[in-house]
Structure formats: C-alpha cells, structure tokens
Chains A and B, each alone.
Chain A
Amino acid sequence: MPTISFIQPKGGAGKSTSALILALELAKGASTALIDADPNAPIVKWHARGGRADNLTIIEADRERSIFDQIEDAERQTAFVVVDTEGVADLRAAHAISASDLVIVPSQGSALDQDNAARAIKLITDQERPMRRTIPHAVLLTRVSAAIQSRGLKAAEQQLVEHGVDLFDTRLIEREAFKAMFSFNTTLDDLGPEDVSGLERARDNAMAFTAEVVQRLKTLSGQGEAAAGRRAEDVRAGA
C-alpha cells in the first residue's frame, strides 16, 4: 500500500534509474506498480521495448487525470506504488508528494543537484501543514563513484546533515549494470556477468537500498506510528 515518490526538479539525478531499481526489488516479494509520470516516459519505453518482471505493473500516467487518483487506483491493486516524476519543477510533483508515504529526493551531490533537492524538500515541508501530517522524505545520493569520494560529495553530505536533512545510509553507486537495465531493456537479475562488470555489487547495492526503504516504511507504519503522530502534532502546532 505505501506509495514512494521520486522527486527532483532537475534532470539527470538518477530518478528513473533509482525508481526502476526499487520497483524491481520490491516486486520480488510483493505486487508493485511503477507509475511513470515523466512525459519523456523512460520507464514506459523500457517496458515497451521488453523490460518486465513478475509482479511489476508499469503504468503510464495520464497527464489529463489527477495523479492523486491514479496513485489511489494503483494502491488498491498493488502492495507498493512507486512514482517516477519529471525532472523539472512540475505541479504534478506537488500532487505526487501529497499522496506519498515516503518521498525520495535523488541527488548526485553536485551544487546544482543540492539546490534543486532543497527546492523539493521545501515544497514537501510546505505541504505538511495543509496536509496535517508529516510527509517522510530523505535524500538519496546517486551516481556516486565507487572508487573515490570527492570533496564535493563530502561537502554536499555535510551540508545536508547540517541542515537536518534525512539522508539514506545507502548510496546508489554509478554502475554499468544500472545503465544496462535501460540499454538492454532488462533487469539486474536478467543480466549476466558476461553483459556487464560489477553485477553482483550492483545487485547488492539495489538490495541494500530497497531494504533501507522497507525498513523506513515499517518504522513509519508500525513502531514509528506514535513518533510520527507526535511529529504530526508538532507540524500542526507550527513547531
């Protein structure tokens, strides 16, 4: 039932790749819908060219219909709904946020990505008061170099922590296997070591990311309910 949206008003941050990775991993254990709300339709194209997995339904968002309604419809059909949005500051991102249990803001850690991540986070927190609930969100560092940690990335990470931004422990590493999912219109599980290098590490990375998402959702829906309620009270009180 949880809906997880990927929001970043800048292109190239790895939104679609992260969304596809998460949806494919979730679909291994539960029915999952991936709503492609990007007019460039990268996920829909991936699917049309042969990309598919058991338990995974790809939905092309109808731009003339409320994304809120489309998410709600999908939530009645599948256990998880993942929403990939356009890499621009689009109103539909705001609607997707309002219907989300968790918003993931992918960022490469560059200054430009960070600025746009901050815009997305402001929009999320601005919506909490009228929605009368907290909207859990966290930044996911993406396309991180496996070999070296740049000073820029360290600075970006420190900046996020200083501003109290929740950050995923897992980072998505820049891996050939992630790109290959789109190049070959396939999944990590259907790729073989002869297709790309570092496949096992990519799979581990995808699983670690998914495990962290699921852990966050469990915390929010279960033992974290009381704390979330208290935070919601704080939001209502304007704290």
Chain B
Amino acid sequence: MSEPEHERHDPFGGEHLIDDLAGFQPRGEGESRPRPDIDELEALAAASGFADRRPGRPRTVKEPTKTLQFRLPESLVDAFHEAAYAEFGPKHGAKTGLFLKLWTAYQESKTGEC
C-alpha cells in the first residue's frame, strides 16, 4: 500500500528531521528525574479537580461548606490577614488555613486537658 519515500513532499526536510531524531538517546542508567513530592502534587491536582479515579479507590466526598461570618475590630482582622499570608502565602484559602490551624490547636488543647 505504501508509495516510494522519495515521492513524498517534505516541507521541513525529512533528512534533517531524521538527523535530529538520531541525536536523542535513552536515559543513562545513572541518570534519574527529580521526583515530585507526591503529597504536594496530589494536593495540587485535587485542588484543580484531578482526582484518583482508579477502580476500588475511595472517592473523596467533599462535605458541603457554609460561610462563617462575624465582625471584629479592624486592627485584629488586619493582623489575622497578615498572619495568614505569612503562614500560608498570598493565595486563596490562606485565611481558612489559619483558622483551621487555630481550631485544630484549640481542639488538641482541650484533649490535653482531659
């Protein structure tokens, strides 16, 4: 079914491409790729909606969220924001992260009292 190679139109120069390809070699035995931190990678993926879909794996069911809203003195709110950014970086979820950290510490302190 195939036709002779020389009859093919080659817009980029097939020989050059073949030469270029020959310059690539398999990875050497001693060489390895830098490995990602799997937990961090999977957290990033999950945040973007990329889930573990392998059969038999438990699907993470997200609990519905509610808004928690209250008023505090402005200086206290500003200080909280600054602490959140310092702790978690200037990204979405920093304030929630700091609140959950404080909440966890509070829960642990209660457990320690018992």
Q: Does B17 contact A207, Cβ atoms closer than 8 Å?
A: yes
CB distance from B2 to the nearest CB of A (A): 5
- Name A1-40 residues within 8 Å CB distance of B: 1-2, 9, 25-26, 28-31
Give every chain B residue within 8 A of A190 (Cβ-Cβ): 1-2
* Given A89-B51, A90-B50, A200-B8, residue A1 in contact with residue B14 (CB < 8 A): no
| Beta-carbon nearest neighbor of B1 in chain A | A192
Known: A28-B21, A79-B26. A91 touches B35 (CB 8 A): no
Contact status of A192 and B26, CB under 8 A, knowing A63-B54, A130-B40: no
Q: Which one of A41-49, A69-77, A139-147, A157-165 is at the interface?
A: A69-77
Q: When chains A and B are docked, how far (Å) is the Cα of A204 from the Cα of B50?
A: 35
User: When chains A and B are docked, how far (Å) is the Cα of A25 from the Cα of B28?
Assistant: 23
Nearest B residue (CB) for A217: B24
A residues 53-86 near B (Cβ < 8 Å) are 63-64, 68, 71-72, 75-80, 86
Docked CA distance A215–B34 (Å): 24
Interface SS of chain B: loop
Residues of A208-239 at the interface with B, using a CB-CB cut-off of 8 Å, are 208, 210-211, 214-215, 217-218
> Do A127 and B25 contact each other (CB < 8 Å), given the known contacts A208-B11, A210-B17?
no
Please, how many angstroms separate the alpha-carbon atoms of A75 and B28 in the complex? Answer: 9
Q: Are B44 and A123 in contact (CB under 8 A)?
A: yes
Chain A, range 182-221, C-beta contacts under 8 Å to B: 186, 189-195, 200, 203-204, 207-208, 210-211, 214-215, 217-218
Select from chain B the residue with minimum beta-carbon distance to A184.
Answer: B1
Residue contact B29 to A192, C-beta cutoff 8 Å: no
Rounded to whole angstroms, the CA-CA distance of A208 and B23 in the bound complex is 18
Total A residues in contact with B, Cβ cutoff 8 Å? 58
Report chain B residues within 8 Å CB of A117. none
**Interface residue? B48 (CB, 8 A):** yes
Q: Is the Cβ of A90 less than 8 Å from the Cβ of B26?
A: no
Assuming the contacts A98-B41, A200-B8, A207-B12, asked whether A122 and B48 have C-beta atoms less than 8 A apart, the reply is yes
A179 CA to B7 CA, complexed, in Å: 23
Distance (whole angstroms) from the CB of B111 to the closest CB of chain A: 32
Q: A91-B42, A98-B41, A132-B34 are in contact. Are A207 and B53 (CB under 8 A)?
A: no
Q: Is B20 within 8 A of A214, CB to CB?
A: yes
- From B3, B44, B48, give the contact of A192 (CB < 8 A): B3
Residues of A within 8 A of B (CB): 1-2, 9, 25-26, 28-31, 63-64, 68, 71-72, 75-80, 86, 88-91, 93-95, 98-99, 119, 122-123, 126-127, 130-133, 186, 189-195, 200, 203-204, 207-208, 210-211, 214-215, 217-218
6 A-B residue pairs with CB within 8 Å = A9-B49, A25-B17, A76-B27, A90-B52, A91-B46, A211-B17
6 pairs of A and B residues whose beta carbons are closest in the complex: A29-B21, A94-B45, A192-B1, A211-B12, A75-B27, A29-B18
